Structure 1
Amino acid sequence: MTRSDAPSERAKAPSGGGGGLAAALPSPLLLLALAVLACAVLAALPLTLPMGPMYWDLVVYIDGAQRVTAGQVPSVDFFAPVGPLGYWLLAGALRLFDEGQPLLLAQWSLLVVTAPAMALVLRDVDRRSRPLALALLGPFLFFQLLPINIEQYSVYPGVDGYGIYNRQVCHLLYVLTAALVFVEGRRTLLAVVAWCCLSLFLLKITGFLAAGLLCAYALAAGRVSWRIALGCAAIFLAALGALELSLRLPSAYLADIAALVKLNEGSIARRFVQAASIHFGIVGPGAILLAWLLLSGRRTHEGDLRAWAGRSTMARLAAALDRPALWLGIALFAALFAETQNTGGHGFIFLWPILLLVLAQARPGAAGRPALTALLVAAVALPPAVNVFHRSMRAIVGQTQYEVIEGSRLKTLGAATQRAEVLERARILHDIYATYPQPYQAMADAKVLPTYGLYSDLDFQVGWFEAADEAVGAILAYEAAQGVRFETIMSLNFANPFPWLLDRQGPHHIAIGADPTRAVPPPDAQTLEAVAQTDLVLEPLCPITSANDALRRLYEPGLAEHRIVPISRCWRGYVRF
């Protein structure tokens, strides 16, 4: 079955309606172009943002981008927690906008991928219904432009440097879902689906698997023909083949994924329960809406079954599956699956196109009670939007009373602010960590953190960036005093900003985003040899933590020929002689 011969009983998208009113609405393509242009202008300006919890995740992205710029290939030359696309995009953005705020660059660089695909979707939909095209564009721009997660891990307002690739996955899934549900042009659908699926594969594998589930359902429901499906598969495989021949990337990437799966073995059922509990404000109303749609449409479905008696088996199956209620159910499951591997992001936002389809079915005169359906749709859609909008407004208003963090050697990473009392607390703790290391070593030996949520504490994040600034100054002073230059620099820490800050190299074959509990495989001989050839390995001491100790033990065989030198009060250096 093709899209053009879909049964008339299917839910229809809202028509343009309103005659002159629809014609008076602005072009969605123009609005999208203006939004992209505005991002480009803002990216070129030296803006500051209020630092939020786990902001150092941004440094992992910058580390990956720096390595790409230096000629390294993700997964081939270094172990990465996700796919290469985000690093490629940020590397280009950092070169193009050298004064831009790096978090904004990481967030907006995905527009290079999403904006062309969304433009194709909007052009197709706008031909039939401008209000619908604008309804699809609004949420897309809202979530794409704001570096704010739905989840909140701090009492003070700030932007989120963590969950960047999780947000990007959901933005791509939004475009893909909009295409699967509303695009009618076959060539447009082929281009958008192939583009989004390839991008999701290169971004994060869980997003690609969620996309595969949605695409498989669209095929079964008749919204994607076999010809389009085979065309998408051919384009996807051809692109991966080209990447394999030129960079050896897909095979290395799949090997990294297998290593990560092995490191993170656990009960998938527990992860589903956890994801559902974190997002219950969406999952709960979504389940109620699903049940209501199935119940209220039961008689209509029974009538349809009688009307379809003379059709082929495939036609009956497609017509039975292509219903807003079932689309909602499959999308809820796909979103829940994607969130089993996420800490923060824009989870479930790609339900919005399907919710528009539900509203179309709930028009006056349709089965069920349209008012109740609209109320339940609002209950599903509003929580993520309200959370992100509320946190964004708090961050904008709060920053008016914030101060810039100290860090003259941090490049644009220093374009961050926080409350004066947080900055002062960070400085006090910095002194305590350096002066009294014994209790923190005792906690590290016991494998506990100084506070349960240490990495989300704003004072820790501020202190970490200020300590990195201190380390850069200390490294430059040591080099000047000793007449040496460290060409390769590694950090026994979650993030390594120093190659980027000092315009040096990061060692090959090590893991970036080095969480030893779930993202650092046991080093092989090649990795240990790369560590042995690294000029300077830095160990952070403010504070001493079990994670840093674990990283040191992992890479210790490669440090046997290095000499320990004090770089600064908060950094111990392992220097290769």
Structure 2
Amino acid sequence: MSEISDTPKGVAVRRTGGTVAHLLSPLGVVLLVLLGCALLLSLRVSVPIGAMYWDLYVIIDGATRVLDGQIPSVDFFAPVGPLGYWMQAAGMRLFPTGQPLLLTQWSYLLVILPPMLPVLARIDRSSRSVALTLLLPLLLFVLFPINVEQASSYPSVDGYGIYNRQGAQVLYALTVALVFERRQRVLLFAIAWCCAALFLSKITGFITGGLLCAFAFAAGRVRLSTALMSVVAFAAVLGLIEAMSGLVSAYLGDISTLVAMNEGVLASRFIQAASIHFGIFGSGLCLLIALLWLDRRPALQLALTAVRRPNLATLHAVLDRNSVWLGVLLFAGLFYETQNTGGQGFIFVWPVLLAILMASGRYADRGTILVFALVAATAIPPAVNVAHKGMRALIGQMRYETLPVANLKGLAQISQRPEVIERGYALLRSYVDQRATYQAFADADLLPTFSLYSEMDFQIAWLLAASEAVDAVRAYETANGVRFRTVMDLNFVNPFAYLLDKDAVRQIAIGADPFRAVPPLDAATKAAVEQADLVLYPRCPVTNANMSLRRIYEPALTGHRLIELSPCWQAYIRADLGPSS
């Protein structure tokens, strides 16, 4: 695989040029993209709401807590690392009218690009086409908040799978460095940066990145001194964070709790991930088999040499091959997807696929054609899916309407077909008028429909219910001369501190899935909930998940009185908060 560090044959070496040439350089393209993103985030734009869009509200909840001075994992139980909440919080401060999903998606450019740009700048000096072929696909995946999987037949964006997309994009940057960079100082920076970002984003991404780094070391790409210094730099970053906040140890505790709550499903998830991504994974396996066959003679000779004269040089020669790299990347991609529901799976295989294309000229014509075809079959589906869905969303929303509410801040910056919005209103009326029916579903541990949270009319109805809650809370405060300071919601999402400009209750779980991500009530959490001024309980619709959450926190609500706040909401108000208090 060593040929990928050289100027590829048949690719023109970059010439010096004027302004246009500079704008078309990787740095020029990046600056133009960042400028465009900043401009759009400065405007009040909307995006077409899609399946499970409310996952975004979990990030907004976390970011709001960060802006209030809370520390992830220390002051609240988080499903992932803190980096996404930190980036969102900074973005909300810089772009208060920015569309929240675009802000979440684009803020990670500041995480992804630093380790990539030095690598691309070096490649650009010999081959601009190769540099741009590495950069442009990543920009496609970052700029469109779209997953490679299809969850809705309507043009829309994906508010779910955000953590998974962010991790995959950082892994892409790491793979570019490991595959295309030889300078050890640049590798040291890229490895330390990406591993810290992955650890602070999603732990499965960090494990996947560690696997790639370990293989790069075994293949001779990363020297021992570079590996050790990368570990030292990574540990120094985490040590500083731990010393300042205690976050790292608390985060590891959260991970341990989540693992204990979700153990025993890894093997089945490998099968599930392979089936969901079979178009990419299956094509990649076919390419791997083809490479092993085409390279069988030199590979066999290397293997025999390694057996006869075992040393580091022969080990590196055996491992540092296109086929081995591809196999490792496919396994790493499959492992990463075992813990994901939605995302941009396997996009970080592209740098290795490009290296394979660049080396394919050494095969006979039929071999070259076969390699090109299988690389295309592996690489094209995710890019085409994201581009297709992204352009459909962009064009389709020209006929969409925005949500006609004025009290949801950035949550209202969405659009959808008029009939879907009208159906959201109808659903809300149904939730109230037919409450006994929905209660019967919940009592049977069933959702009204199997894919309820994926349905766009439900997402619209939830926003309309949230708008009702905001108005009802403000009306109650005005009518009773009371001012609530802290608020929480017995629901999967809890954006009401953000919507009502209040403090979020500490020590509770955000992204509160009671079956997978809410730990048992402990003393600290119980004390925090007991001091909550306002605890909202949603009933549009009544669901088994919300009922389960209420059962978890009920021991901490004995000092609250329950009121009917509005048709869709009950509220637990702390007993000592009477009128005019």
Q: TM-score, normalization: structure 2?
A: 0.95
Tell whether 2:244 aligns with 1:251: no
d(CA) in 2 for partners of 1:424, 1:239: 50
d(CA) in 2 for partners of 1:508, 1:20: 57
Query: 1:407 offset after TM fit, Å?
Result: 2.0
d(CA) in 2 for partners of 1:491, 1:308: 62
Tell whether 2:378 aligns with 1:346: no
Q: Which of the numbers 424, 427, 431 marks the counterpart of 1:426?
A: 424
Q: Which of the numbers 8, 30, 35 marks the counterpart of 1:15?
A: 8
d(CA) in 1 for partners of 2:468, 2:228: 55
Query: 1:397 offset after TM fit, Å?
Result: 1.6
Query: 1:260 offset after TM fit, Å?
Result: 0.4
Q: Structure 1 21/227 Cα, relative in aligned 2: closer, same or farther at 3 Å?
A: closer
Q: Which of the numbers 113, 118, 124 marks the counterpart of 2:122?
A: 124
Say which SS state the counterpart of residue 158 (structure 2) adopts: coil
Q: Which of the numbers 98, 101, 105 marks the counterpart of 2:99?
A: 101
Query: 1:302 offset after TM fit, Å?
Result: 2.7
Whether the aligned pair in 1 keeps the contact of 2:294 and 2:363 (CA below 8 Å) is no
User: What residue identity is the alignment partner of 1:462?
Assistant: I
State the partner residue of 2:32: 34
Alignment of structure 1 residues 543-554 onto 2, 5 Å: 543-554=541-552
Whether the aligned pair in 2 keeps the contact of 1:46 and 1:99 (CA below 8 Å) is yes
> Unaligned stretches of 5+ in structure 2?
576-581
User: What residue identity is the alignment partner of 1:474?
Assistant: A
State the partner residue of 1:200: 198
d(CA) in 2 for partners of 1:165, 1:51: 18
What are the Cα deviations for residues 445-468 of structure 1, in whole angstroms up to 9, with x where unaligned? 100000000000000000001110
State the partner residue of 2:326: 328
Query: 1:394 offset after TM fit, Å?
Result: 1.2
Q: Which of the numbers 550, 554, 557 marks the counterpart of 2:555?
A: 557
d(CA) in 2 for partners of 1:339, 1:395: 25
What are the Cα deviations for residues 283-313 of structure 1, in whole angstroms up to 9, with x where unaligned? 1101111111111110122344567789661
Query: 1:331 offset after TM fit, Å?
Result: 0.6
Query: 1:12 offset after TM fit, Å?
Result: 5.5
Query: 1:366 offset after TM fit, Å?
Result: 6.1
Whether the aligned pair in 2 keeps the contact of 1:200 and 1:208 (CA below 8 Å) is yes
Alignment of structure 1 residues 53-72 onto 2, 5 Å: 53-72=51-70
Query: 1:229 offset after TM fit, Å?
Result: 0.3
Identity %: 54
User: What residue identity is the alignment partner of 1:15?
Assistant: P
Q: Structure 1 401/367 Cα, relative in aligned 2: closer, same or farther at 3 Å?
A: closer
Q: Name the stretch that deviates more: 259-268 or 458-467.
A: 259-268
Whether the aligned pair in 2 keeps the contact of 1:22 and 1:131 (CA below 8 Å) is no
User: What residue identity is the alignment partner of 2:108?
Assistant: L
d(CA) in 2 for partners of 1:43, 1:67: 21
Say which SS state the counterpart of residue 536 (structure 2) adopts: strand
What are the Cα deviations for residues 360-389 of structure 1, in whole angstroms up to 9, with x where unaligned? 221255697111101000000011111111
Alignment of structure 1 residues 350-365 onto 2, 5 Å: 350-365=348-363
Say which SS state the counterpart of residue 119 (structure 1) adopts: helix
What are the Cα deviations for residues 220-269 of structure 1, in whole angstroms up to 9, with x where unaligned? 00001101100100001111111111100110000000000011112311
Tell whether 2:397 aligns with 1:399: yes
Question: What is the total number of aligned residue pairs between the two structures?
Answer: 570
Q: Structure 1 16/186 Cα, relative in aligned 2: closer, same or farther at 3 Å?
A: farther
Q: Which of the numbers 205, 216, 219 marks the counterpart of 1:221?
A: 219
d(CA) in 1 for partners of 2:125, 2:9: 9
Q: Which of the numbers 438, 441, 448 marks the counterpart of 1:440?
A: 438
Q: Structure 1 49/17 Cα, relative in aligned 2: closer, same or farther at 3 Å?
A: same
State the partner residue of 2:579: none
Q: Structure 1 364/317 Cα, relative in aligned 2: closer, same or farther at 3 Å?
A: closer
Say which SS state the counterpart of residue 327 (structure 1) adopts: helix
Say which SS state the counterpart of residue 504 (structure 2) adopts: coil
State the partner residue of 2:49: 51
**Root-mean-square deviation over aligned CA pairs:** 1.7
Q: Structure 1 53/511 Cα, relative in aligned 2: closer, same or farther at 3 Å?
A: same
d(CA) in 2 for partners of 1:309, 1:73: 53
Q: Which of the numbers 456, 474, 499 marks the counterpart of 2:497?
A: 499
d(CA) in 2 for partners of 1:94, 1:456: 26
User: What residue identity is the alignment partner of 2:478?
Assistant: A
User: What residue identity is the alignment partner of 2:257?
Assistant: A
Tell whether 2:72 aligns with 1:74: yes
What are the Cα deviations for residues 401-421 of structure 1, in whole angstroms up to 9, with x where unaligned? 111113210011101001111
Q: Structure 1 325/362 Cα, relative in aligned 2: closer, same or farther at 3 Å?
A: same
Q: Name the stretch that deviates more: 50-59 or 119-128.
A: 119-128
d(CA) in 1 for partners of 2:191, 2:365: 32
> Unaligned stretches of 5+ in structure 1?
1-6
Q: Which of the numbers 156, 159, 167 marks the counterpart of 2:157?
A: 159
Whether the aligned pair in 1 keeps the contact of 2:507 and 2:525 (CA below 8 Å) is yes
d(CA) in 2 for partners of 1:22, 1:298: 39
User: What residue identity is the alignment partner of 1:228?
Assistant: T
Tell whether 2:528 aligns with 1:524: no
